[in-house]
Amino acid sequence: MMDAALSNFKGYTPKSLPRVEPLAQGHRACQGCGEILALRMALKAIGDNMIVASATGCMEIVTSSYPQSAWNVPWIHVAFENAAAVASGIEAGRKALMRKGRIPNKRTTIVAMAGDGGTADIGLQALSGALERGHDFVYICLDNEAYMNTGVQRSSSTPYGAMTTTSPPGQLSIGQSTWKKNMPAIAVAHEIPYVATGSPAYYTDLMNKAKKAALVKGPAYLHLYSPCPTGWRLAPELAVEISRLAVQTNIFPLYEVVDGQYILNKKIRKPKPVEEYFKLQGRFRHLDKKTVQQIQERVNRQYEALVRKAASAEIEEEPTEEAAT
Ligand SMILES: Cc1ncc(C[n+]2csc(CCOP(=O)(O)OP(=O)(O)O)c2C)c(N)n1
Ligand code: SF4
Ligand SMILES: [Mg+2]
């Protein structure tokens, strides 16, 4: 049965956005960083009653240069691999202290956050354990599709064909040689109450999903598209534009999975060709037409499979360009 908090959920609108800033301005993210934008939106939506466990990665480094901190809420830097394990301990510890009457009996959102490397690679085991144990927490994966903090090494979330320093294209290599891992599907396989994808180009959608993830009792997983101008060889002013294109090309569809039921949040009536998405980014510059076509076909197949999974749900249509202008 759907969590009562979700069935009665009233979303944010552009006029009712929260004013709190759990993550303050004055951090040291690169110019135009889309990862910090996605994170700021998610945290604003959750509010300031939260405790954050933050894996090593760009977002930890740029927000905590000693002796300063951009955090306005309790925040702990953890290792690269154990954000979900630390969040589990915080949640279980708080429960024990509340039971003993040592702290007030009040619900606080426990957030674990990590990049794609910290989630899909080294932190996968800690995440799987925490989802399986059913801790009441929100896991945020900030997917910028490589290990950016350490100089753009590939992860299992790097898209096929992308150039990174450890998947360099050349005569014998097309760049990343494996297909991107489907992390939201892995979270869904744990049969948790709430899984969603979000994009900073669709900010009310992203923020409402973050709020729902916090309201739900039990584990929730948010997979946030996090454009990285530095690692993607993208102009810094294009982070939001590329986020929108990722949705409009069906490369990064927006959906929720509530108690195992897929809900597609934006139906793209006339998807743009993936080539439009690729041509703005230096990391895909080397791709030939045949490879682009191969990727296009896979994107089409995956989107059709998603539509089938969500077939019974209501879908909001993305306005056509003519309607939006
Ligand atoms: C056990 C361990 N191995 C390697 C590192 C070095 N390291 C720190 S952050 C990082 C990459 C982070 O990538 P990701 O999780 O995708 O976050 P991003 O920086 O891209 O946001 C690596 C390899 C480490 N801190 N600990
Ligand atoms: S390297 Fe990328 S993800 Fe990291 S702070 Fe810079 S733009 Fe953001
Ligand atoms: Mg990353």
Ligand 1 neighbourhood includes 219 CB (under 6 angstroms): no
% of the chain exceeding 90 in pLDDT: 92
Nearest atom, ligand 1, residue 123 CA: 15
Alpha carbons 264 and 226: distance in angstroms, whole number: 20
Of residues 227 and 324, the one with the higher pLDDT is: 227
What residues have CB less than 8 Å from 87, skipping those under 6 apart?
53, 110, 111, 112, 130, 135, 137, 139
Single-letter amino acid code for the residue at 317 = E
Domain that holds residue 232: 4-324
Residues with CB under 6 A from ligand 2: 29-30, 33, 35, 58, 62, 144, 148, 228-231
pLDDT, position 284: 98
User: At 317, is the pLDDT very low, low, confident or very high (cuts 50, 70, 90)?
Assistant: low
Q: Closest-lying ligand to the alpha carbon of 144?
A: 3
Note the Cα 228 to chain centre separation in Å: 13
Q: Three-state DSSP class for 304?
A: helix
**139 forms bridges with which residues in the sheet?**
112, 221
Q: If you measure from the C-alpha of residue 113 to the centroid of ligand 1, how many angstroms do you get, rounded to a whole number?
A: 13
pLDDT, position 70: 97
Alpha carbons 218 and 215: distance in angstroms, whole number: 9
Single-letter amino acid code for the residue at 288 = D
pLDDT, position 2: 74
Q: Closest-lying ligand to the alpha carbon of 29?
A: 2
pLDDT in tens, 252-272: 999 999 999 999 999 898 999
Alpha carbons 218 and 187: distance in angstroms, whole number: 13
- The yes-or-no verdict on residue 322 having pLDDT over 60 is no
- pTM above 0.75? yes
pLDDT, position 325: 44
Name which residue sits closest to atom 5 of ligand 2, judged by CA: 29
Q: If you measure from the C-alpha of residue 274 to the centroid of ligand 1, how many angstroms do you get, rounded to a whole number?
A: 29
pLDDT, position 7: 83
pLDDT in tens, 107-166: 999 999 999 999 999 999 999 999 999 999 999 999 999 999 999 999 999 999 999 999
% of the chain exceeding 70 in pLDDT: 95
Mean pLDDT over 48-73 rounds to 97
CA angle 188, 124, 157 (to 5 degrees): 80
Name which residue sits closest to atom 3 of ligand 2, judged by CA: 228
What's the mean per-residue pLDDT of the chain? Answer: 95
> Residue 314: which CATH number?
3.40.50.970
pLDDT, position 1: 65
Alpha carbons 306 and 19: distance in angstroms, whole number: 35
Rg value, the chain, Cα: 19
Token pair in block for residue 191:
């049969």
Q: If you measure from the C-alpha of residue 34 to the centroid of ligand 3, how many angstroms do you get, rounded to a whole number?
A: 12
Nearest atom, ligand 1, residue 58 CA: 19
Alpha carbons 177 and 203: distance in angstroms, whole number: 32
Ligand 1 neighbourhood includes 88 CB (under 6 angstroms): no
Mean pLDDT over 296-321 rounds to 82
Q: If you measure from the C-alpha of residue 228 to the centroid of ligand 1, how many angstroms do you get, rounded to a whole number?
A: 15
Name which residue sits closest to atom 8 of ligand 2, judged by CA: 33
CA distances 51 to 77, 123, 162, Å, are 11, 19, 35
Number of domains in the chain: 1
Nearest atom, ligand 2, residue 232 CA: 2
